[in-house]
Amino acid sequence: MSGELPALLAVTFRAVMDHVHTRLAAEGFGDVRPAHGFVFQYLSFHPEATAVELGEHLGVTKQAAVQLVDELARRGYVERRPHPTDRRSRVVALTARGWACVERVTALWRETERRWAELIGEDRLGALREDLTALAADAAGGRPVPLRPLW
Amino acid sequence: MSGELPALLAVTFRAVMDHVHTRLAAEGFGDVRPAHGFVFQYLSFHPEATAVELGEHLGVTKQAAVQLVDELARRGYVERRPHPTDRRSRVVALTARGWACVERVTALWRETERRWAELIGEDRLGALREDLTALAADAAGGRPVPLRPLW
DNA sequence: TAAACTTAGTCAAGTTGGTTGACTACTCGT
DNA sequence: ACGAGTAGTCAACCAACTTGACTAAGTTTA
């Protein structure tokens, strides 16, 4: 059958993330919503981001971004500190708990990949990764793909 | 690098669907929200579904399902008809416009796959489809994966 | 170096897409 | 033929956003 690949991508991703969320919940990280994942993702690569930056990356208003940050701060995943030079601004950083959660997600993803390697073999998995990288790059057409709300 | 495959699935799917939505909008189907896609998907395989059935499949309450249907009916994509035997119930069916929209999506997906075949070759694409099918089945662990809100 | 402009964040109100709960009308099994 | 269950509706509520107006701090420019 042809034309079903996009759906297959979605279904696979969905199944993985359902599993990850179940595991996270069992390990005490049950209070993270899908949208939070994108905050974590961004903060782990931009450790001193501001709320406005975060909003731009997530494609939401600054007000919504601040609300997300407040919620995560209340739950102990992030911390707001005064900006070193700009007194209007405050930087958002992951706390130890925030980092721990990020670590768990990446560990679970690696675990998933190991499982997949067993299923289809290292070679096929390598080809899969390589091909998907090419397809994603082509589909994105040079634009950055924001990795936004999906899970 | 290892552990990035789940993200790669998401990014690829996201890029494809962004493209599809852009094209749909340009062809006069600009008034469909992501959630509608799942309604279409379900109705195209269950042509005489009820609102309650739809709600169960989408994982939302029947009230939310009815609201979705009303919205799509207002825009001419679906139609509500009396149920042939059960006078409490009404069946929801795609209109000509609804079917046209579904056709366009599947055509755009096929087009995407043809493009991908050019990029990585028929063989690799076949392997990709085969492997992803296996991984999805394994990740789902026997459970049906509902193909719910993602786009 | 002061006036004009821009930017980070806040406050408040409105919108949207859902929820739960209570209800009516109908169906079905015994 | 009646009691339990089901399809759909109405109404009230809630969460996650939005838009718009604002303050305070920073930046540019003449």
Contact A70, A84 (CB under 8 A): no
Instruction: Give the model's pLDDT for residue B71.
Output: 97
Interface A:B, Cβ pairs < 8 A: 153
Instruction: Give the model's pLDDT for residue A140.
Output: 77
Residues B112, A139: C-beta atoms closer than 8 Å: yes
Please give the average per-residue pLDDT across A123-150, as a whole number.
Answer: 81
**Which DSSP string do the residues of B62-127 spell out, in sequence order?**
HHHHHHHHHHHHHTTSEEEEE-SS-TT-EEEEE-HHHHHHHHHHHHHHHHHHHHHHHHH-HHHHHH
- pLDDT tens for each residue of B50-88: 999 999 999 999 999 999 999 999 999 999 999 999 999
Which amino acid is residue B67, in one-letter code? Answer: Q
Please give the average per-residue pLDDT across A104-122, as a whole number.
Answer: 96
Confidence class for position B149, pLDDT limits 50, 70, 90: very low
> Between the CA of B57 and the C1' of C27, what is the distance in angstroms?
23
Structure tokens at A136: 């994603």
Please give the average per-residue pLDDT across A89-113, as a whole number.
Answer: 97
Give the three-class secondary structure for A73.
Answer: helix
Q: What is the largest CA-CA distance in chain A?
A: 59
Q: Is the CB of A87 under 7 A from strand C?
A: no
Instruction: Give the model's pLDDT for residue B146.
Output: 57
Burial class (CB in 10 A: 0-12, 13-18, 19+), A36: buried
Say which residues have a Cβ less than 8 Å from residue A131's Cβ, sequence separation at least 6.
B120, B124, B125, B128
Instruction: Give the model's pLDDT for residue A149.
Output: 47
Give the N- to C-terminal CA distance of chain B in Å, as an integer.
27
**Nearest CA to B17 among A146, A116, A20, A42?**
A146
**Partner residue facing A131 (CB), from B13, B18, B120:** B120
State the nearest Cα–Cα gap between B73 and chain A, in angstroms: 25
Q: Quote the mean pLDDT of chain A.
A: 92
Please give the average per-residue pLDDT across B14-39, as a whole number.
Answer: 93
- What is the rounded CA–CA span in Å between residue B115 and residue B47? 31
- pLDDT tens for each residue of A14-57: 899 989 999 999 999 999 998 999 999 999 999 999 999 999 99
> Between the CA of A66 and the C1' of C11, what is the distance in angstroms?
13
Question: Bridge partners of A92?
Answer: A49, A80
Instruction: Give the model's pLDDT for residue A141.
Output: 76
- What is the rounded CA–CA span in Å between residue A80 and residue A84? 12
Structure tokens at A113: 């990949």
Q: Domains, chain B, ranges and CATH? A: 5-140 (1.10.10.10)
Q: Is the CB of A84 under 7 A from strand D?
A: no
Confidence class for position A150, pLDDT limits 50, 70, 90: very low
